[in-house]
């Protein structure tokens, strides 16, 4: 009786694949359909964007920040603005801070809608993607009215925001939230609680709380493993302390805490909380200016600073060093997608090749955030 012998295969996924939302490559070592490991190979989208900051100046770098995370660019706008303001000791008017929160949370909704829709498409369900994209387009319509752009916004400025809320915009935004809340329940019925969705995501690529911390995961990927950490609550910034909202964490309702299903549900539950924040911000927004007076030839004093914002992909850190000139001496941004890439090689061991797409989608990695 002969013994069955197998041979390891080396496969390429990429450098182009739809589930990666950009140019990314994985070197897969597999025994049949089972992976021994998947090794990320990044760098295809590197643009030296941090070095560009040193050449275009403080004001001039704001449009470039949109390209760090083009799916959720309001947060990169905000992080850069906050770093510059911290260096120079600039106080943003309260109405300007409210405008920032409103713009950012709408962008979080748009980002998460794309994530959950693509999660469906990545496992073979086309209809949920169309439903999610329809809602995202409505949010893009609102954002376009606010700042004139639908993807790369360039909305925020050092000292506040470029434009106030247009006349009648607040009422439109509140009406959209009335429309969105029942749609999220409908989306759950359509896809989230669908048997096929649960079977494809539950107990797949489980990340324990210990591993999530050790691999420095942030945002929904960290909270899905049961770790309750959110910069908006734990290191409060802007006017977030004035709002009442909750921080959802993974509960392992359909499988094990920290699995792909928990990471998916994090985005659904965060959208509910973003809607809560937006209702409060739109209702409570004070009168006044939206932009502080900042000189055109902006030269913050020599020094260094670090700020953190809670992006759709988690804790995003900006480190800026000033030498007193109108150009930053050093800029570095720490992103959630780059951190998430580090755990893929470990999680891939023993997974089916088809589940690698689920793993990548559940981590919600964006290629520009990885390479910068």
Q: What is the secondary structure of 24-85 as a DSSP string?
A: -EEEEEEETTEEEEEEEE--TT---HHHHHHHHHHHHTHHHHTTTSTTSHHHHHHHHHHHHH
Q: Considering only CA atoms, which of 49, 105, 113 is closest in space to residue 80?
A: 49
- This prediction has a pTM of 0.92
For 290-313, how does the pLDDT look when each residue is reduced to its tens digit (9 = 90+)? Answer: 999 888 888 999 999 999 999 999
Q: What would the mean pLDDT of 115-139 be, rounded to a whole number?
A: 89
- The SS3 call for residue 315 is strand
279 alpha-carbon distance from chain centroid: 21
Query: What pLDDT score does 166 carry?
Result: 93
In this structure, whether the domain defined by 62-360 belongs to CATH 1.10.40.60 is answered with: no
- Tell me how far CA of residue 66 lies from CA of 61, 80, 160, 232, 369, in angstroms: 9, 10, 16, 21, 11
Query: What pLDDT score does 218 carry?
Result: 92
* Residue 195 neighbours by CB distance under 10 Å: 7
- The SS3 call for residue 3 is coil
Q: Considering only CA atoms, which of 276, 32, 145 is closest in space to residue 153?
A: 145
For 245-264, how does the pLDDT look when each residue is reduced to its tens digit (9 = 90+)? Answer: 999 998 888 888 888 899 99
Confidence category of residue 34, pLDDT binned at 50, 70, 90: confident
* Strand order from edge to edge, sheet including 330-334: 303-311, 314-322, 330-334
For 190-235, how does the pLDDT look when each residue is reduced to its tens digit (9 = 90+)? Answer: 888 888 888 888 888 889 999 999 999 998 999 999 999 999 999 9
How do the domains of the chain map onto residue ranges? 62-360
- Tell me how far CA of residue 332 lies from CA of 22, 38, 134, 360, in angstroms: 21, 28, 35, 25
* Distance (Å, whole) CA 153 – CA 143: 8
* Distance (Å, whole) CA 272 – CA 258: 20
* Residue 321 neighbours by CB distance under 10 Å: 15
* Distance (Å, whole) CA 363 – CA 368: 15
Q: What would the mean pLDDT of 325-352 be, rounded to a whole number?
A: 89
């Amino acid at each position: 009786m002969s013994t069955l012998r197998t041979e390891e295969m080396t496969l390429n996924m990429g450098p182009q694949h739809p589930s990666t939302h950009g140019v990314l490559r994985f070197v897969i070592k597999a025994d049949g359909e089972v992976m021994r490991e998947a090794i990320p190979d990044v760098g295809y989208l590197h643009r030296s964007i941090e070095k560009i900051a040193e050449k275009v100046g403080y004001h001039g770098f704001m449009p470039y920040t949109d390209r760090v995370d083009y799916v959720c660019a309001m947060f990169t706008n905000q992080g850069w603005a906050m770093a510059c303001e911290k260096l120079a000791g600039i106080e943003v008017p309260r109405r300007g801070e409210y405008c920032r929160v409103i713009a950012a949370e709408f962008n979080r909704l748009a980002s998460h809608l794309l994530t959950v829709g693509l999660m469906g498409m990545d496992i073979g369900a086309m209809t949920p993607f169309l439903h999610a994209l329809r809602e995202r387009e409505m949010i893009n319509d609102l954002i376009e009215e606010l700042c004139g752009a639908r993807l790369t916004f360039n909305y925020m400025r050092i000292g506040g925001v470029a434009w106030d809320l247009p006349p009648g915009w607040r009422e439109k935004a509140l009406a959209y939230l009335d429309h969105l809340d029942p749609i999220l329940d409908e989306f759950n019925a359509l896809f989230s609680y669908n048997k096929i969705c649960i079977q494809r995501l539950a107990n797949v690529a489980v990340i324990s709380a210990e591993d999530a911390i050790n691999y420095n995961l942030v945002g929904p990927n960290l909270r899905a493993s049961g770790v309750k950490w959110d910069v908006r609550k734990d290191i409060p910034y802007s006017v977030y302390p004035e709002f009442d909202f909750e921080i959802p964490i993974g509960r392992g309702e359909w499988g094990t805490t920290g699995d792909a299903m928990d990471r998916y549900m994090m985005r659904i539950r965060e959208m509910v909380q973003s809607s809560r924040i937006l209702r409060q911000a739109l209702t409570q927004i004070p009168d006044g200016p939206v932009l502080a007076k900042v000189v055109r030839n902006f030269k913050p004093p020599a020094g260094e600073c670090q700020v953190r914002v809670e992006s759709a992909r988690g804790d995003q850190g900006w480190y800026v060093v000033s030498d007193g000139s109108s150009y930053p001496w050093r800029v570095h941004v720490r992103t959630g997608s780059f951190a998430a890439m580090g755990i893929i090689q470990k999680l891939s061991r023993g997974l089916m090749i088809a589940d690698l797409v689920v793993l990548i989608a559940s981590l919600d990695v964006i290629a520009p955030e990885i390479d910068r």
